[in-house]
Amino acid sequence: MEFHHVRALLHAAPLILLAIPGSAAMEEKDFAAIKAELDATKHELATTRTTLERVERRLDQLEASRAAPAQAPSGPRIAPVNADNPAISFVVDTTLQTDTHGSGWDFALRSGELFISAPIDPFLRGFATLNGSTEDGFDIEEAAVVTTALPWNLTVEGGRFFADVGRLPHWHDEALPFVDRPPSIDRLIGGESQSEGAQITWLAPTEHYIRVTGGLFNTIGAEYNEQLRDEGFDGYRDFSQLTFLVHPETYFDLTDTLNLELGTSFVTVPKHDQRYLYGIDATLRHQPGTSEFYQGLVIGSEWFWNEQKFDDVEVGTDPGTGDPIFADQHAHRNGGYAYLEAFLGRRYSVGIRGDYAEDAFGPANRQRTYSAFATWMPSEFQRLRFQFDQIDAAGEPDNQRFTLQWTAFLGSHSHGFANR
Amino acid sequence: MASRIVEIASTFLCVGFLVLSAGSAGATLRVVASTPDVADMTRQIGGDRVTVETIAAGGQDPHKVPVKPSFVTKLNRADVLVVNGLGLEHAFLPALLEVASNPKILSTGSAYIDASVYVQVLEVPTSQNRAQGELHPLGNPHIGLDPVRGKLMAQAIAEGLERADPAGAAAYQAGLASFQALLDRKIVEWQRLAAPLRGVKAVSYHQDLVYLADRYGLEMVGTIETKPGVPATPGHLEELVNRMKRDQVRLVIREVAYEMPLARTVAERTQARVATVSSLAGGLPGADSYVDFIEANLKALVQAVQGGTSS
């Protein structure tokens, strides 16, 4: 744009005219004509300038818009066919463990877990977890269907799956924040809350988060399910032998970065075992969403109270005959854990955990476990974790256990809501 | 004992229904937006016809947005869900939708608005090999960093709002026209503002600035991350520093969701300057709206290129 040259010429024009010999003697009318011509030229230049500025703006716009497609494509963007239908993932969870009891060294495949999930139709999705391990061999850990379109915020889940008990009992091993499931959960729930049955969940249609789950199962707990299968359980049992579950949970945003989750669990077998398990869980999270070294904190705890009738327990010896005396016995036991995990940087965390667990016959067989653990995630898809456990079990010498865990995730990998 | 179960369950049901009935159904369209970018666009387009709540915050890494139960209730009550799309929300949205009990806002539902549908996508991977890092299968999802693509995102949002609320079609079209006119004006300004960036070689922390670089002529030569989503290794950093020295790269761009110390170390070793930008609206102070967000990023980059440091 050469406006400044033109403008300079215009400003210089009167001087040029004055410099012409004899110009002072020009007639008045000649001067008026020249002035009119000058005004016309100025006007023409102003018009040209406006036009050029408009063209310049348009050029800028065109340049700015060069990446925009001439015609927008229509329809939703669709992932390649079968990209996630079904979503398939495989988890490799291996450990190396030793202790000061002289047990030696143990390399173990803690879990090789194939997970498949997909929508079945507009109303249902299905999932299955097939698990193999050094200790337990191969098992179909879960195979279940879940409704996706029921009214009134209801969701029904049926099949074999981890019942919604407490917080950590329904987490898969590889998703736990520790290398092992807390001993109290192992003792009181029987490992994961694996169950065969059905549960219905209702999400309150409110601003405040309230979710209530009710369920009916053959039994709850991987260990108890295994026992049933080992005993040749044929699937039929009296209604009073079924296990009932109720699990309400709620959540509070205490501040923008601090929140609290609370839940209670109630599991019962009303008649046969006369089992009543009460649980309470609380999780406090600090999630500042910062890029600083300290990136957050989780404090979690669960406590369970269990009362259960055991049939034909040996309660003593007949003084006359010396024969053992058997009787039904009600046993009460407690257990729970609390842990703190701090997240440092984008890929590190460290934590401590304390666990107290009684077995079926109460405090006499209690176990206290104190643990410290550190986790490093080289990427989103693999994790290395070291854990030290100080185990204080009644009637046994103290034991120190060291575990190194290496976990990797193949294929589709997403974090489910339950494992948040 | 069974009666106790029924008692507990019915108490919770009653409380829930009472709270529900206490709430009044608003006349506006209740929108949940996954990111602050699409949230602001929706507000600009929808005006008084919409109320918008957002899940991710501006300064957060979209891959690390916490899955809070309070988001579930927002999604449960939403009339419409607006997402950036292209898998940007994969770390938090699927888990939330899994329990939100709101089929219409699922990706197959009528009230799911994907803002990316009209955008020309860059860096679409040719394979899904994780050895290449945590790639997004549909291409680089950080489209909002380019305001021209932002116009197309706005178009997709407006059309989605019209589908969900046909009665408001005229209002949404007017809102879209007004927003796009604003963007047109700003795009011209930004083109001039960002002129010093053309041809400037830079490294970023994460591979999320491809659209910004494409628009304003930055030449991205590497990332501090070894691969997308994979943290820096010492070997990679050494290689990056050597390359920056060889290619005379003088600009390190640190996205606000990533830590500063490593970016500063790389910059110090290469005599480069550090510019702090955000990949989402609201990540930098005073840049909550989409327009302010684009402008704040460009000003930070230009300031760093022209001799200052924005951090």
Q: How do residues A197-230 score in pLDDT, each as one tens digit? A: 999 999 999 999 999 999 999 989 888 877 777 7
Least confident interval from A59-63, A277-281, B197-201, B211-215: A59-63
Tens-place pLDDT, residues B36-54: 999 999 999 999 999 999 9
Cα distance between residue A177 and residue A278, in whole Å: 23
For residues A59 and B274, the model is more confident at B274
- Do A417 and B20 make contact, defined as CB atoms within 8 angstroms? no
Indicate the average pLDDT of chain B.
90
Query: For chain A, what is the radius of gyration of the CA atoms?
Result: 37
Predicted confidence band at A386 (pLDDT cuts at 50, 70, 90)? very high
Average pLDDT over residues B78-86: 97
For residues B160 and A133, the model is more confident at B160
- Residues forming beta bridges with residue A163, ordered by sequence position: none
The CATH class of the B194-305 domain is alpha beta
- Do B230 and A378 make contact, defined as CB atoms within 8 angstroms? yes
List, in order, residues 6 or more apart from B282 with CB less than 8 Å away. Answer: B36, B57, B58, B59, B288, B293
Cα distance between residue A79 and residue B277, in whole Å: 30
Please report the pLDDT score of residue A293 as a whole number. 87
Helix and strand element counts for chain B (H, E): 10, 8
Predicted confidence band at A70 (pLDDT cuts at 50, 70, 90)? very low
For residues B267 and A274, the model is more confident at B267
Cα–Cα nearest to B145, from B290, B35, B283: B290
Spell out the long-range contacts of A41-50 with Cβ–Cβ below 8 A and sequence spacing 24 or more: A41/A10, A42/A10, A45/A3, A45/A6, A45/A10, A49/A3
Q: Which helix (H) or strand (E) holds B152?
A: helix B147-164
- Do B148 and A65 make contact, defined as CB atoms within 8 angstroms? yes
For residues B23 and A120, the model is more confident at A120
Q: Structure tokens of A160?
A: 């074999």
CATH number of B24-189: 3.40.50.1980
For residues A262 and A22, the model is more confident at A262
Please report the pLDDT score of residue B133 as a whole number. 83
Tens-place pLDDT, residues A160-172: 999 999 999 999 9
Please report the pLDDT score of residue A235 as a whole number. 64
B16 touches A at CB < 8 Å: yes
Which among B101, B146, B259 is the nearest to A292, CB-wise?
B259
Cβ-contact A199, A213 below 8 angstroms? yes
CATH number of A89-419: 2.40.160.10
How many alpha carbons fall within 13 Å on the CB side of residue B168?
21
Cα–Cα nearest to A278, from A250, A298, A248: A248
Tens-place pLDDT, residues A364-377: 789 999 999 999 99
Cβ-contact A162, A176 below 8 angstroms? no
CA distance A291 to chain B (A): 5
Is it the case that residue A419 has pLDDT exceeding 90?
Answer: no
Q: Which residues of B touch A204 (CB under 8 A)?
A: 12, 15-16, 19-20, 73
Q: Which residues of B touch A122 (CB under 8 A)?
A: 103, 108
- The DSSP secondary-structure symbol of A173 reads G
Q: Structure tokens of A249?
A: 């949970």
Please name the residue of chain A whose CA is at the shortest distance from the CA of residue B227.
Answer: A379
What ranges make up the beta strands (E) of A164-274? 194-203, 210-220, 243-253, 258-269
Cβ-contact B74, B100 below 8 angstroms? no
Tens-place pLDDT, residues A274-319: 789 999 999 999 999 888 889 999 999 999 999 888 777 777 788 8
Cβ-contact A127, A146 below 8 angstroms? yes
Predicted confidence band at A6 (pLDDT cuts at 50, 70, 90)? low
Q: How many other C-beta atoms can be found within 10 angstroms of the C-beta atom of residue B179?
A: 24
Cβ-contact A348, A373 below 8 angstroms? no
Q: Which residues of B touch A293 (CB under 8 A)?
A: 259
State the helix-helix crossing angle for B260-270 and B234-247, rounded to 10 degrees: 40
Please report the pLDDT score of residue A228 as a whole number. 74
Q: Structure tokens of A264?
A: 């209670």
Vertex A102 angle, CA A101 and A108, to 5°: 100
- In which order are the strands placed within the sheet that holds B251-255? B219-223, B201-204, B251-255, B273-277
- Residues forming beta bridges with residue A215, ordered by sequence position: A199, A245
Please report the pLDDT score of residue A81 as a whole number. 47
Instruction: Give the percent of chain B with pLDDT over 70.
Output: 90
SS3 B1: coil
Q: CATH topology of B24-189 equal to that of B194-305?
A: yes
List, in order, residues 6 or more apart from A308 with CB less than 8 Å away. Answer: A273, A274, A275, A276, A277, A330, A331, A360
- Do B85 and A69 make contact, defined as CB atoms within 8 angstroms? no
Q: Structure tokens of B194?
A: 């960002």
Please report the pLDDT score of residue A324 as a whole number. 85
- What is the 3-state secondary structure of B79-95? CEEEECCCCCCCCCHHH
